[in-house]
Structure 1
Amino acid sequence: MVDYEVTVSTGNLLGARTFNSVFIKLVGENGESERTCLMDHNLSFGGGAVCSTVSCPVSIGKLVLIELDKQPLPLFPEDVWFPAKVEVKSPEGDTYNFPIYHWISDSKVHRFREGTALTVFEDNHHLGRYSRQQELKQREQDYRWDVYVEGIPHCIKAENPLSLPCEVRFSFTKTTEFRYTAFTSLTELQLKGLANCKKNWTNIQDISQVFCYKRTDISDYVKEHWKEDDFFGYQYLNGVNPMLIRRCTSLPDHFPVTDGMVFPSGQCSLKDEMKKGNIFLSDYKRLDGLTANTINGKKQYLMAPLVLFHKTPDDKLMPIAIQLKQTPAVDNPIFFPTDSEYDWLMAKIFVRSADFSEHQLNVHLLCTHLLAEVFAVSLLRNVPMVHPLYKLLIPHTRYTLQINNLARLLLISKTGVFTQFAASGGEGMMTILKRSLSSVTYSSLCIPDDIAERGLEAVPNFYYRDDGLKLWDIIHRFVEGVLSFYYKNDAEVQQDSELQKWILDIFKYGFLSQACTGIPQKFTSVAELVKFVTMVIFTGSAQHSAVNSGQYDYGGWMPNTPISLQLPPPTTKGTTSEATMLQTFPDINTTVQGMATLWLLSKDSSDFVPLGHYPEDHFSEKIPCQLIMDFQEELEVLSVAIKVRNQSLDVPYTYLDPMELENSVAI
């Protein structure tokens, strides 16, 4: 007889332990063991490891997989169990690792592969191939595509979070803290009598009393500086939407700005400043012609502005002209800093409100949340656990499917907060999402390409670009190291059918088979694969943090980012005042619902996992494990550099600090 030493580790999660009897069968290249009951002297498989011995008449050779099942004891009900991993030491002295990380709730046999990553063309054992096929067959049932609205990326089919597979749901900690944050925010508003108050604001200082205890250093700074032109321009580089501004080399025909309008003293010309790279444009054309929402029985207003900026000699990005509608007209004046205080301020307020909708629906919801969901669902449907791509990407899908399901239930549904209280809610919301998807390109999702295409390589004080490019390079080196270890040449990429199904599903269900997006329909080289996987990780971690984490910082003071506006913009200059501004701002209940939502979406849970940290051990080989350690070290070095840089800034830019951003779209 030969003995195999088996160590079973149960996950450190609430409800992970089981009181059922656990059985294991070892399957090797030369045979298999008997189904053996694993003994735990504590009568339950709880936190920690349980060691047992499995005996065989002779060695069964190199282990291929294990079979696990659990059976209820007399008088004990069947329960659920979350085994984390199984380690087996063979009589030959070899150690085999089996990553599990799977909830087992029934009495069926579940197969798990040995931890060495295998592409489909390397998987030569007949039982291994069969296990691979059965796993994907089950996954296709568990993770089904659904159409939420025609014309936007498909999503997972699930009525509510409880109908999602257990592995992709929130932890107990995450669920509890998420509910607590939402409940306490709304309760506070109701106790103050604000949540249902449909009156106008009559004093701007009253707005600061909404969440007097929910403040951040940056939200306080925003309150003090929101009217200032240089801070208005700063937000286009380092606020929550750094994705719209681009270098302007020629003015659009429908934006008839002249030198005399923006440089009245004749100190310079638009043509010369454009040549120097000092003129920039933000164009909200996606919002043109939308039907704005009706809130509290009142029609709301949403503009599609054009904003012109000038980089001054002291490296400030200053707004110099604002046109609030796309088509020039007598009743659509162009506003300038030389106009009256409230004419110019009101123009900026309408721009900031438009930016709220552009940011939330295009930059945030579509280009991070919805795309990350597509990447995740395609991975879970097409790529088995033993595949290197699964091992690489599964940590970057954590909580994404549930947070998106909640968004569809609570934010953008017919009764959702965004639908009820945003100017772009309702009919306009889906129009923006459809327009946004039609304008997304592969290059716009890759920060090096996007920065180059927008002509922003040399803009000073652009911390999103500086930190983002460094992060992209670090992620790219890590991904290249891991994937090059498994794919030695382009031919191996081309013949990996699971890999090709993954990208084809993304093209089909995420980008609706639109070839104009530039999204690959297949992978033909290692380099192409590395770039795409880098984009997937960057999108779900860094990019999401950049456009999500600062939402309350910049929107906690509502006048800086109004969720809606309820008077039309001025059609004639000289007709605005502070009273006009207060009447234009959203009603009290609209304001507070928006602020409460931004607070909720900016709060990380205590089980937050920062980029590059992988609590689950999916990789077994030395080289990938070393690459993970190198990845973490590079991220730590960048984090230190960002913290040092931020010490000298009035407004620290922390959203791309690797220690502050999460591995996945989890909030």
Structure 2
Amino acid sequence: MEVYTVTIATGTSEYSGTNNYIFVTLVGEKGESERTLLDNPGLDFCRGAVDQYKVTSPSPLGSVLLVRLEKQKYWVEDNWFCQYVKVEPPSGDKVLIFPCYRWLIGDVTVDLREGTAKTQMDDSLPQLLAHRKTELQERQKTYRWVTWAPGIPRCIEAKTEADLPQDARFDNEKRSDFEHSLQYALLELSLKKLAIRFGKSWNDLDDFKRIFWKLRSPIAEYCMEHWKEDWFFGYQCLNGSNPRMIRRCMKLPENLAVTPDMVQSSMAAGTNLDKELKAGNIYLLDYAILDGIPSNTIEGKPQYIAAPLCLLYQHPNEGLIPIAIQLEQTPGLDTPIFLPRDPPLAWLLAKMWVRHAEFQVFQLLSHLLRTHLVVEVFCVATLRQLPAVHPIYKLLAPHLRYTLEINCRGRTQLISANGIFKRVVSTGGDGLLILAQREYKVLTYHSLKPHTDFTDRGVSQLPNYFYRQHSLMLWEAIHSFVSGMVSLYYQSDHDVQGDLELQAWIRDISQEGFTECPNFGLSSKLSSREELSTLLAVAIFTSTVQHAATNNGQFDWCAWVPNTPCTMRLPPPTEKDLVTMEMIMASLPDVSQSCVQMAITWHLGRAQPDAIPMGQYTEDHFTEEQALELIERFRMELKEIEGHILSQNEGLQLQYLVLLPSRIENSITI
């Protein structure tokens, strides 16, 4: 008689425990143990419990290949979240760890593999190969592709988050916090609207201060004080909520009717526009993608959209400053060039229109499309094509946590036909989908790599571009970590080419997820370890660093509504001399729209109470020592980057701390 010691850990989140029957069977090379009932229902497997049992076998099992867990109802159905199972052989050999990290729902049987990461080529036993195949067949029935709308990345088939499998859902604490946070923000919004309704409506810009109650942040308040200043406008192009819009301008666009004389007064002494263009000191914001987008109608009133071009100059003393703004793509008598020397209100309103365009592009394209929807493709493909024992599944799993649910909530609550964007954003309704479709047509895999993105935009030498500096440091750390992991499990390029599961994964990504994307430029085959490492680095960078850069600061830059208005209620001005404060106030979002903008950006941009910081892994998918050493080295490198960023920000009145590794989540959860 052989006696094995079996340790089972139950999850620590609310409702993880169970009072149902739990059975275990050890499956070895030479046979199976007795099917063993592990507890008296209701006494063991409590939330956070680590329970130990003895399991017997009439004869030696040899190497333990699988742990079979069975859950059966006792009186009432009670789901169970199992973290892992440990098995200590009677010989006293090394304790084996079988990661689980999944819900057992209903009367169900689950077979767990030992935690050593293995590709399909590493397995030779028919039993283990069959296990891989069965696991993927079940997952492919559960996780299915669907086209939510034509011309954007495909997503998980789920009409609402309630249709998702339990393993893809928020924990109860996360769900409660998410819904409480939203209700809290909307309650304060309602109180503000009520208070203002019995007072006066917007008359001047200072009136917006009346919605700064408990929802506030140091940067939002700094923004409130400095938003009119040209240097601050330029700073936001570099380190605001959409830091990847700006690009170097070596030659003025033909549709930008700016002449050297117009901007001469903005130039430093002894230079002119032509010299600065050649020197590479002129930059451009071009919102051509907004041209012709149908605008929203809110409560029966039309909203307005412009497609501005904004010229900026890297001034040797004043920093990056705007020097000319044209509010439409086609020049003409009704499309004046706004300049810093114009009447102050005209110049201010022109900058507001640029920032309004910024709101549309950053929320729908830089944030939603280029992070949430791109990462969802990786998430669905990984769940469909890679078994839990696969090293690439283990590597990606922490970076896919909660992404399916938050995206489902986004589709139903934010961008649906009656969602928040339809209620308060100028591109709400048909416009947001058309805008996303335009971006998707030109989206490239190349542009998701930060190095090439900065080079292509010609911004590698821009000073005080903290987003660039920090994201490149983090990219190098991620790529180095991922390359180490890939080299650990793939000894050669041939191993990558021969991994059939991996090749099915890349086909699912390129041919299913990114279908209808003609210029994406991602091959449907992986030929080398470097190709694989770069692709994995892109997936992890996008789900961590890039998402943090566009999401985490949105309240800071949008809470002061005139700085980044979600909608405009009057068309762009056609005559500079006719701009008045009354026109500005009538253009900006009204009381209700302003309150919603502030509430939602706070709700979506706030730090999450259950956030798992980048590089911290609460689930131990990897068990082998070499992999754990690489993870620890990655953590140490992130700690060094954290120290460097903190040191760089010492003494700065306006700090850029969005990309501190401790403030970046491991996955897109909000």
TM bucket (normalised to shorter chain) is over 0.9
Report the residue type matching 2:220 in the other structure.
S
**2:133 corresponds to which residue?**
133
Aligned CA-pair RMSD: 1.7
- Aligned: 1:68 with 2:77: no
In the TM superposition, residue 271 of structure 1 has moved relative to its aligned partner by 2.4
- Aligned: 1:487 with 2:490: yes
Q: Which moved more, 1:205-214 or 1:38-47?
A: 38-47
For 2:312, what is the secondary structure of its paired residue?
Answer: strand
In structure 1, stretches of 5+ residues that fail to align are none
Q: Deviations over 1:332-384 (max 9, x none)?
A: 01111111101111100000000100111110000001111111011111111
**2:81 corresponds to which residue?**
82
Q: 1:195 to 1:536 in 2, by over 3 A?
A: farther
**1:233 corresponds to which residue?**
234
Q: Which moved more, 1:541-550 or 1:11-20?
A: 11-20
In the TM superposition, residue 42 of structure 1 has moved relative to its aligned partner by 7.2
Q: Deviations over 1:26-61 (max 9, x none)?
A: 112222212122236972212221111112233211
For 2:97, what is the secondary structure of its paired residue?
Answer: strand
Q: Deviations over 1:96-148 (max 9, x none)?
A: 11000111112222111110111112221111111111111111111111111
Report the residue type matching 1:632 in the other structure.
R
**1:533 corresponds to which residue?**
536
- Aligned: 1:630 with 2:633: yes
- Aligned: 1:425 with 2:428: yes
For 2:112, what is the secondary structure of its paired residue?
Answer: strand
**1:10 corresponds to which residue?**
10
Report the residue type matching 1:657 in the other structure.
L
**1:212 corresponds to which residue?**
213
Report the residue type matching 1:267 in the other structure.
G
In the TM superposition, residue 419 of structure 1 has moved relative to its aligned partner by 1.7
The 1-side partners of 2:349 and 2:656 are apart by 27
Report the residue type matching 1:263 in the other structure.
Q
Q: 1:502 to 1:168 in 2, by over 3 A?
A: same
For 1:436, what is the secondary structure of its paired residue?
Answer: helix
Please, which of 460, 463, 471 is the counterpart of residue 460 of structure 1? 463
In the TM superposition, residue 309 of structure 1 has moved relative to its aligned partner by 0.6
Please say if residues 224 and 560 of structure 2, whose CA atoms lie closer than 8 Å, have aligned partners that are also in contact.
yes
**1:287 corresponds to which residue?**
290
Q: 1:361 to 1:5 in 2, by over 3 A?
A: same
The 2-side partners of 1:318 and 1:406 are apart by 38
In the TM superposition, residue 603 of structure 1 has moved relative to its aligned partner by 1.8
The 2-side partners of 1:43 and 1:505 are apart by 44
For 1:103, what is the secondary structure of its paired residue?
Answer: strand
Q: Deviations over 1:545-601 (max 9, x none)?
A: 000000000000000000000111111121112121111111111111121111110
Q: Deviations over 1:520-557 (max 9, x none)?
A: 22110000000000000000011000000000000000
Query: Alignment length, in residue pairs?
Result: 665
Q: Deviations over 1:460-515 (max 9, x none)?
A: 00000000000000011110111110011011111111111212121123321535
The 2-side partners of 1:454 and 1:634 are apart by 28
Please say if residues 377 and 514 of structure 2, whose CA atoms lie closer than 8 Å, have aligned partners that are also in contact.
no
**2:472 corresponds to which residue?**
469
**1:118 corresponds to which residue?**
118
Please say if residues 372 and 403 of structure 2, whose CA atoms lie closer than 8 Å, have aligned partners that are also in contact.
yes
For 1:544, what is the secondary structure of its paired residue?
Answer: helix
- Aligned: 1:337 with 2:336: no
**1:606 corresponds to which residue?**
609
Q: Which moved more, 1:428-437 or 1:22-31?
A: 22-31
Please say if residues 396 and 540 of structure 2, whose CA atoms lie closer than 8 Å, have aligned partners that are also in contact.
yes
The 1-side partners of 2:225 and 2:96 are apart by 60
The 2-side partners of 1:101 and 1:58 are apart by 30
Please say if residues 19 and 41 of structure 2, whose CA atoms lie closer than 8 Å, have aligned partners that are also in contact.
no
For 1:53, what is the secondary structure of its paired residue?
Answer: strand
For 1:100, what is the secondary structure of its paired residue?
Answer: strand
**1:518 corresponds to which residue?**
521
Q: Which moved more, 1:221-230 or 1:162-171?
A: 162-171
**1:24 corresponds to which residue?**
24
- Aligned: 1:58 with 2:59: yes
TM-score (ref. length: structure 2): 0.97
Report the residue type matching 1:651 in the other structure.
L
**1:144 corresponds to which residue?**
144
- Aligned: 1:576 with 2:575: no
Q: Which moved more, 1:538-547 or 1:127-136?
A: 127-136
Q: Which moved more, 1:278-287 or 1:119-128?
A: 119-128
The 2-side partners of 1:40 and 1:312 are apart by 75
Report the residue type matching 2:103 in the other structure.
W
TM-score (ref. length: structure 1): 0.97
Q: Which moved more, 1:475-484 or 1:262-271?
A: 262-271
In the TM superposition, residue 187 of structure 1 has moved relative to its aligned partner by 1.4
For 1:51, what is the secondary structure of its paired residue?
Answer: strand
- Aligned: 1:443 with 2:446: yes
Instruction: Flag as ranges the 4+ runs of structure 1 deviating above 3 A.
Output: 39-42, 192-200, 264-267
Question: How do 1:128-207 and structure 2 match up within 5 A?
Answer: 128-194=128-194, 201-207=202-208
Q: 1:195 to 1:363 in 2, by over 3 A?
A: farther
Q: Deviations over 1:229-281 (max 9, x none)?
A: 00001000000001110111111111122211111488322222122221111
Please say if residues 443 and 519 of structure 2, whose CA atoms lie closer than 8 Å, have aligned partners that are also in contact.
no
Please say if residues 186 and 195 of structure 1, whose CA atoms lie closer than 8 Å, have aligned partners that are also in contact.
no
Q: Deviations over 1:267-303 (max 9, x none)?
A: 3222221222211111101101111111122111111
For 1:182, what is the secondary structure of its paired residue?
Answer: helix
Q: Deviations over 1:386-420 (max 9, x none)?
A: 00011000100111111111111111011101122
In the TM superposition, residue 78 of structure 1 has moved relative to its aligned partner by 2.6
The 1-side partners of 2:214 and 2:21 are apart by 51
For 1:193, what is the secondary structure of its paired residue?
Answer: helix
Report the residue type matching 2:141 in the other structure.
Q
Q: Deviations over 1:74-107 (max 9, x none)?
A: xx32311111000001123121110001111122
